[in-house]
Amino acid sequence: MKTNFDRLKENDICEQVFIKKPNRGRFLGYYNSLDAFRPLLSMQEWEKLVTGYYINVGGDFDAVRVSYFTNDKKNTIKLIKQFVKDNNLEIINWSHADQPGKISGSYGGEEMRFRGFLSTYTQIGLEIMNADLLNARCLLVTFRWQVMVTKMPYKPHFKRTFEQQSPFYNSLSTEENAQFWMDMANWPNPPQFGWAHFLINMVLGCDWPWESIIRPQPALTYIQINENIREQGFQIPEDWEP
């Protein structure tokens, strides 16, 4: 997929499709839906038609939202519909675009930089979730409630997992790596969501209001975080380390 990033253009249409695996419930349904949709992302037809994409939670925390960039809208829609039909999935919403539109307006306005980051975090996120979902969830929830709230640097928290579990991350050039970390920390319009929100949302299937982290504050303990995430169906083990 990396070569497709070179094909990203500002005039690629961006559409969003919301897909779910029926009757799986909140949070678990999101991960089930993502796992069911994941095979499409490595299909040759998808890589030919789609120049980039990013993934977040959708529906009632039970569906996956796939936002994709394409210059062949008709055949991309046809491919997705066929895959959904063949795999007993449901399309609960589809946001179509008749012409290119800027998606970075609320996130700083740097369109190509934003599209590149969205495509990049998604590849890394998919790989660490596939390698060890519990670790990925612990990594992102502690990032949210320990690293971000105390205004600590981001890279040391993620570096070990990314290097061990993400071939895509390891394939980044020195320049691309530096750009990724600048983008992760990019927060153009507080108290609006910063760019790191997208990775949090993808891995955890949710996020919390960012007003809570505008000003530095003490990090939450694992016990406090575990209370916050009880509904999500996982807990941070006592001996877990990033």
CATH number at residue 80: 3.30.70
A 10 A CB-CB count for 153 gives 9
Structure tokens at 231: 């509904």
At 101 the pLDDT is 87
Answer yes or no: do 143 and 189 share one domain: yes
Answer yes or no: do 18 and 77 share one domain: yes
Question: Please, which residues have CB within 8 angstroms of residue 159's CB and are 6 or more apart in sequence?
Answer: none
In a domain, 21, yes or no: yes
In a domain, 214, yes or no: yes
Which H or E element spans position 30?
helix 28-41
Answer yes or no: do 129 and 52 share one domain: no
Across 47-74, b (16+ Cβ under 10 Å) vs e yields eebbbbbbbbbbbebbbbbbbbbbeebe
In a domain, 219, yes or no: yes
Edge-first strand listing for the sheet containing 50-58? 50-58, 63-70, 13-20, 90-95
At 3 the pLDDT is 43
Residue 191's domain comprises: 109-232
pTM given for the model: 0.95
At 1 the pLDDT is 42
Answer yes or no: do 113 and 135 share one domain: yes
Of 171, 42, 179, the residue nearest 114 (C-alpha): 179
Q: What is the CA radius of gyration of the chain?
A: 18
Q: How many folded domains does the chain comprise?
A: 2
At 4 the pLDDT is 53
Answer yes or no: do 77 and 115 share one domain: no
Q: Mean pLDDT per 10-residue run, the chain (242 residues)?
A: 69 96 94 97 95 96 97 96 97 92 93 96 98 98 96 97 98 95 95 93 94 88 96 95 88
At 2 the pLDDT is 47
